[in-house]
Amino acid sequence: MKILPFLTMLLALECASVSQAQTAAEWVETGIAKGRNYDFPGATDAFDNALALDPKLVPALFNRGLACLWTDDANGALGYFDKAIALEPENAQARVERAKIKAAKGDKAAALADYNQAIALQPKYPFAWLGRGNVKRDGGDLAGALKDYDQLILLSPADGAGYYCRALVREVLGNFEGALSDYEKLLALDETTLNASISAHRELILRRLQRADPTDRLKNALMNYKGDDWYRAPGDFITGQLTEAAFLAKAGEGAPSPVMLEIQQGEAFYYVGMMRLLAHDTAGAREYFEKLKSSTHAEGDLARAELARLPGEKPAAKSK
């Protein structure tokens, strides 16, 4: 008789344990919450727990794929997105994420196919239009890219991505008035981190069009930007606070990764080329634009367009 209370207690503990155990869906929610708080290892564990309970739970597969991207494991992410799409072909979000990876790996056709399908499934999903526009731009279909960015802006006018991407394409095409308008709209949306960088692009166009800026937008942006990182460096160079040599040297400093180092140096070559061009130093401009002829970043597109506009230069072939 004395053992009964002990057995009753064990049974109660077991029942409590079962009632408190998380379901697979609850583990996904836990993982999402941890990810929002930048607890990426905790989030990954939570998604793994969800998949241990239900290996075919699409939200768990999708979020586990995103977790792989936190650690730059693109191949792992691709595997999870493939599984999610196989189980749920109408999942537009998974298709967009898979398309990003395909595009980064150079498989533009596969990326475009996923973006097309995502748009057909969810026509109001902004990231699908942004991604497809980027793939079209990288493939040289600038007219098609502009149409996708137009649609992105219609769907998400408060998001600056559409204005920024459209402005770059307009610059490449020589539509400087249109690019200037987009930079103005972008600056109206974002008065923080990107202000100094976007203001630098705007300032170059104003100088190209031989227009004064009564608002001194770039100088004000630099005064208000408290950081001393690469975001402000182009503005400091344009306004004469950094010499050309100091600017080029700064491009090689403080980059958190090899990819960012390549981007910073590419931006430096572009800005130096543009300042030399505006000073009517055509040979000097060509020297720095030539350094970007094989670049796959935005500055490469801009530099190739500038080379094509230089006297005696044939249009440059776009790198794939």
- Number of helices (H), then strands (E), belonging to the chain: the values are 18, 0
- Looking at residue 191, its pLDDT comes to 56
pLDDT value of residue 192: 54
What are the per-10-residue average pLDDT scores of the chain (320 residues)?
A: 37 36 94 95 96 97 96 96 98 98 96 98 97 95 98 94 95 97 89 71 95 85 79 92 96 88 95 97 97 93 96 53
- Read off the tokens for 117: 């399908």
Q: Which residues contact 45 (CB under 8 A, 6 or more apart)?
A: 31
Q: Return left, alpha or beta for 253; rule: phi > 0 is left, psi -120 to 50 is alpha, else beta.
A: beta
User: What backbone torsions phi and psi does residue 280 show, to the nearest 5 degrees?
Assistant: 65, 25
Burial class, 282, CB count within 10 angstroms (exposed 0-12 / middle 13-18 / buried 19+): middle
- Provide the sign of the torsion angle of the four alpha carbons 248, 252, 256, 260, taken in this order: positive
What integer pLDDT is reported at residue 7 of this predicted model?
Answer: 34
Establish how many alpha carbons lie within 13 A of residue 238's alpha carbon, considering only the half-sphere containing its beta carbon: 32
Residue with tokens 């109001």: 124
What pLDDT does 224 receive? 78
Assess contact for 88 and 100: CB atoms under 8 A: no
Collapsed DSSP state (helix, strand, coil) of residue 294: coil
pLDDT of residue 284: 97
| 249 Ramachandran zone, left/alpha/beta (phi>0; psi -120 to 50) | alpha
Token pair for residue 121?
């499934």
- Strand, coil or helix: 242: coil
| Amino acid (1-letter code) at residue 139 | G
Residue 267 phi, psi (nearest 5): -65, -40
